[in-house]
Amino acid sequence: MIRYIDLFAGIGGMRIGFENALKELGISGKAVFSSEVKPYAIDAYKNYFTDVPFGDITKIHESSIPDFDFLLAGFPCQAFSSAGRRLGFEDARGTLFFDVARILKAKRPIGFLLENVEGLVNHEKGNTLRRMIGILEGLGYTASWDVLDGKDFGLAQSRKRIYITGNLKGIDIRINDFIAKHTNLASIIDYGVTPKSTLFTEKLLSHYSIDDVIGKKIKDKRGGANNIHSWSFALKGYVSDEQKKLLSLLLKQRRNKKWADVYGIEWMDGMPLTLEMIAEFYKGNDLKSMLDDLVEKGYLVLEHPKKKEGSKRVYDKSLPKGYNIVTGKLSFEYSQILNPDDIAPTLVATDVLRLGVPVNGGIRPLTVREGLRLFGFPEQYDLNFLSPNLTFDLLGNTVCIPVVSYVSKCILEGMLKNEFDVIRAIA
């Protein structure tokens, strides 16, 4: 019997992955403790597993946690204090990683699996990860890590994450020896869920065929063949061919470093340009009236350039206003139309509902079931009692279950190799 705990549990993806590995290896297991702070994540966890996670792990003393053999934790990334230089246990104090470390120190489980964002590898030039590994090794664990991508484990989503493993048996666990298994979005799409026409999709599909928009991003910040601008399909109102030409020029020129010298400010990407500046690269007629029309319709904004003030950028009202492209991607109903023959980008909680799925000649958002499939959740996992916004907030921070299953199996096989050999010999 492997007893395990599930910290920063979310909706239980780590637990499901670990349980899958136990089942595949024929090992019995029992979750003896879990912890989560987000109320609707707790509701989802309870709905599937029936047991209720405890609350804030930072307020739970390690002595109140039952004894266990294995620790699971998809902990949030936090930087260590720059004042800490010894790379020891105390340097982690004040971070959520410290709570993982203090529980490992007190309870001495035989192994653990930690999951985090890929950015941890280079966080603070790699110092954060080095210090974490140093702390884990200082607690007596043989620790190692690797970055794995969900798309290589049969998921229709690219999602790179770091997996940190450790054990008390001195075994160097290798988790990068696998045969990639790939699929595409078509395998998880519910084609029976038909789209509802909206003003956005009506305008988009009145200017483009559905085949023309598949795989395209919709944003006004950048150009490129793989991008559609809002003015290309008159989302905010009619735009003449001459105005489209002007916007195309402005899109490029707002990144030109020479305008920072003209303003006398530090260069920033995407500066507003005054009428006089624009007149230097656009030689057509009625320039001001075209610009003002685009401002009125919401394609452009008239604003001051920004300057650095500490770590922030603020408007410099001492400088004249200029015309700038309105670039907020979350202002559009869809920021990208997915390609069923491809995979999804890494799902992020803030904009996952703005990924469009082309179905039956129309476009609709991802369904909750499709979102769950993109992480490998079982079909019986139910989140329909939550709103789509809450659901995708949870999914945007969850784990790739098939990857967790694979890594967990590697750890368990490595740690229990001798035990397995004895069992096989008896058999």
For the annotated catalytic residues, the residue numbers are 77
Whole-Å CA distances, 416 to 163, 332, 409: 19, 52, 10
CA dihedral 319, 323, 328, 331 (to 10 degrees): 130
Residues 155, 375 contacting (CB under 8 angstroms): yes
Residues 176, 152 contacting (CB under 8 angstroms): no
- Beta strand pairing status for 306-309 and 312-315? antiparallel
